[in-house]
Structure 1
Amino acid sequence: MSRILVIGAGGVSSVAVHKMAMNKDIFGDIHLASRTKRKCDAIAASVKTRTGVDISTYEIDAEEVPALTKLIEQISPALVVNLALPYQDLPIMDACLAAGVSYLDTANYEPKDEAKFEYHWQWAYHDRFKEAGLMALLGSGFDPGVTSVFTMWLKKHKLKTIRQLDILDCNGGDHGQAFATNFNPEINIREVTAPARHWENGQFIETPAMAHKVEFDFEAVGPKNMYMMYHEELESLAKFVPELERARFWMTFGDEYIKHLTVLQNVGMTSIEPVRYQGQEIIPLQFLAAVLPKPETLGETTKGNTNIGVIATGEALDGSGEKTFYIKNICSHEAAYEETGNQAVSYTTGVPAMIGAAMMVTGKWAGEGVFNMEQMDPDPFMEMLNSDGLPWTVEEMDGPVEF
């Protein structure tokens, strides 16, 4: 049994900690820290009620490297699981290096002053982690994370090469709010309003945000409009699946979401440029995030399913020509809430965070340096998806899906 320190106390963290407590044979001693200790205490109380497991809680500013280093040294965990904001990835990695502890996160680094999330900042840490004999695992959420594992499972078991790849992320849930985001509002809106990029013929092609819309019929959800956008796993997939000719990421949004977001953009509320108001400097998007419903409060009212998967076309492993496979997970918002007190968007990220941590502390995934999910054996991770709440299915399609 391993001692774990989880940083962050949002919905994803809540799910991950609940699921860790449900795997007591792997995670024997769980510690939880965030800027707001009462959020940690609330998660710990829920975990205690649901599982009987005690969680130790702490208050920490993850951007204060010396203080965080001291806390990590005090707890002496086998692994630090970073479920805080992407802005905090590098300080937490610095603290892990200083304390001599391995690291895991679910989303790549993003500077506060620019809506640009790329892996190069974290890949630059590879030698430092390698020299320290430590492992850093990046992007162990659903997308990124499971989508990359899905892709590599197909490449290991179904396709010798992958020519085309489409990642489809559908949230068919309804939370009854006029406008709310299902994960951190600031990160969500920065992602959605950024220019879209997709990989094609050896380079990234940039197009305006939300410019490409396609209707797709999702199992257990129905027809939904999905929009092409940039997502970080495209960068790592292009690196670790070098034969890819084209890779795209699609996410569904309802008409009401698009309408509200358009108005907010038009009036400047999605800007990350500071403005002066009553003698203080504020960032409009951060103010907007503060007044929107918190994602962790949406679990009780959210109904419906998520459907997230990968459609891959390439040369069949058995030599039978080109084939297309669709591998996906369908997750119920109601079932996620019943099990952990959180809606399915948090659940589909928190469970893979727990599984990635399990891979590392059990030694099923090991290495020295900084690694992406594509570099690991997909099989043990896929097994835990089935056993721990995110079962998947795979089907052969009649041919490539063109949209």
Structure 2
Amino acid sequence: MSKVLVIGAGGVSSVCVHKMAMNADIFGEIHLASRTKSKCDAIAESVKERTGQEVATYEIDAEEVPAMVNLIRKIEPSLVVNLALPYQDLPIMDACLETGVDYLDTANYEPKDEAKFEYHWQWAYHDRFKEAGIMALLGSGFDPGVTSVFAMWLKKHKLKTIRQLDILDCNGGDHGQAFATNFNPEINIREVTAPARHWENGEFVETPAMGKRMVFDFEGVGARAAYMMYHEELESLSKFIPELERGRFWMTFGDEYIKHLTVLQNVGMTSIDPIKYKGQEIIPLQFLAAVLPKPESLGETTKGNTNIGVIATGEALDGSGEKTFYINNICSHEKAYEETGNQAVSYTTGVPAMVGSAMMLTGKWKGDGVFNMEQMDPDPFLDMLGEQGLPYQVKELDRPVDF
């Protein structure tokens, strides 16, 4: 049994810690820290009620490296699981380097002052982690995370090459709110309002945000409008699938969401540039995030399913020519809430974070340096993911997608 330190106390963390407690044979001691200790205490109380397992809680500012170092040395965990904001990735990695402890996160680093999320800042840590004899696993959520593992599973079992790849993320849940985001509002809105980028013929092609739309019939949800946008796994997938000719990411949004977001953008509420208000400097998007419903508060009211998957076209492993496969997961908001007290968007990220942690702690995934999900064997991860509530299905399509 291993000791683990989880940083962050939002919905994803809540799911991850609940699932860790349900796998006490792997996660012998669970320690949880965030800037607001009361949030950690609430998660610990829920975990105790649901599983009987104890969770130790702490207050920490994850951007303060000396404080993080002191906490890690006090706890002496085998692994630090970063489920805080992407701005805090590098300080936590610095603390892991100083203490010689393995690291895992679910989202790549993003500067506070620029809506730009890329891996190169974290990839630059590879040599230092390798020299220290420790491992960092990046992006162990669903997208990024499971979607990359899905692609590599297809490369291992179905396709010799992947020529075209489309990631489809559909949240068919209804929470009854006029406007709310299903994960951190600040990160969600920064992603959606940033220019779209997709991989094509060896380079990224930039297009206006929400500029390309298509409709897809998602099993368990129905027909939904999806918009092409940039997501970080496109960067790693284009690196680790060198033959990839085209890679795109699509996410569904309802008309009400688009309407509200357009108005908020038009009046400047999605800006990350500081403004002066009554003598104080505020960032409009951070203020907006503070007044929107908290994602962790949506669990009880959200009904319906998510459907997230990958469609890949390439040369078949068996030599039968070009084939197209669709691999995906369907997750129920109601079942996720029943099990962990959180809605499915948090569940589909929190469970893979736990599974990635288990892969590292059990030695099924190991290495010295900084690694992406595509570099690991997909089989043990997907086997455990299915056992832990997120099974996948695969089917062959009769032709490549043409949207």
Percent of aligned positions that are identical = 85
Match of 2:261 in 1: 261
SS in structure 1 at match of 2:273:
coil
Match of 1:162 in 2: 162
Match of 1:172 in 2: 172
Match of 2:56 in 1: 56
User: What amino acid is aligned across from residue 92 of structure 2 in structure 1?
Assistant: I
Match of 1:137 in 2: 137
User: What amino acid is aligned across from residue 225 of structure 2 in structure 1?
Assistant: N
SS in structure 1 at match of 2:394:
strand
5+ residue gaps, structure 1, are none
2:259 equivalent to 1:232: no
2:358 equivalent to 1:378: no
Kindly state the Cα deviation for residue 247 of structure 1 after the two structures are TM-superposed.
Answer: 0.3
Match of 1:319 in 2: 319
Match of 2:198 in 1: 198
TM-score of the pair, normalised by structure 1: 1.00
Per-residue CA deviations over 1:290-310 (Å, capped at 9, x if unaligned) read 000000000000000000000
Match of 1:222 in 2: 222
User: What amino acid is aligned across from residue 300 of structure 1 in structure 2?
Assistant: E
User: What amino acid is aligned across from residue 165 of structure 2 in structure 1?
Assistant: L
Per-residue CA deviations over 1:259-314 (Å, capped at 9, x if unaligned) read 00000000000000000000000000000000000000000000000000000000
2:287 equivalent to 1:287: yes
Match of 1:24 in 2: 24
SS in structure 2 at match of 1:103:
strand
User: What amino acid is aligned across from residue 382 of structure 1 in structure 2?
Assistant: L
2:68 equivalent to 1:68: yes
2:227 equivalent to 1:245: no
Kindly state the Cα deviation for residue 192 of structure 1 after the two structures are TM-superposed.
Answer: 0.1
User: What amino acid is aligned across from residue 131 of structure 1 in structure 2?
Assistant: E
Give the whole-Å Cα distance in 2 for the aligned partners of 1:162 and 1:126. 27
User: What amino acid is aligned across from residue 242 of structure 2 in structure 1?
Assistant: P
Match of 1:124 in 2: 124
Match of 1:99 in 2: 99
Match of 2:358 in 1: 358
Match of 2:337 in 1: 337
User: What amino acid is aligned across from residue 3 of structure 1 in structure 2?
Assistant: K
2:297 equivalent to 1:297: yes
Match of 1:275 in 2: 275
SS in structure 1 at match of 2:156:
helix
SS in structure 1 at match of 2:242:
coil
Kindly state the Cα deviation for residue 22 of structure 1 after the two structures are TM-superposed.
Answer: 0.4
Per-residue CA deviations over 1:187-243 (Å, capped at 9, x if unaligned) read 000000000000000000000000000011000000000000000000000000000
Give the whole-Å Cα distance in 2 for the aligned partners of 1:249 and 1:293. 26
Kindly state the Cα deviation for residue 156 of structure 1 after the two structures are TM-superposed.
Answer: 0.1
2:185 equivalent to 1:185: yes
Kindly state the Cα deviation for residue 399 of structure 1 after the two structures are TM-superposed.
Answer: 1.0
Match of 1:15 in 2: 15
Per-residue CA deviations over 1:81-112 (Å, capped at 9, x if unaligned) read 00000000000000011111010000000000
User: What amino acid is aligned across from residue 110 of structure 1 in structure 2?
Assistant: E
Give the whole-Å Cα distance in 1 for the aligned partners of 2:16 and 2:111. 25
User: What amino acid is aligned across from residue 212 of structure 2 in structure 1?
Assistant: H
How big is the alpha-carbon RMSD for the aligned residues of Structure 1 and Structure 2?
Answer: 0.3
SS in structure 2 at match of 1:289:
helix
Match of 2:208 in 1: 208
Give the whole-Å Cα distance in 2 for the aligned partners of 1:30 and 1:255. 41
User: What amino acid is aligned across from residue 275 of structure 1 in structure 2?
Assistant: I
Kindly state the Cα deviation for residue 74 of structure 1 after the two structures are TM-superposed.
Answer: 0.5
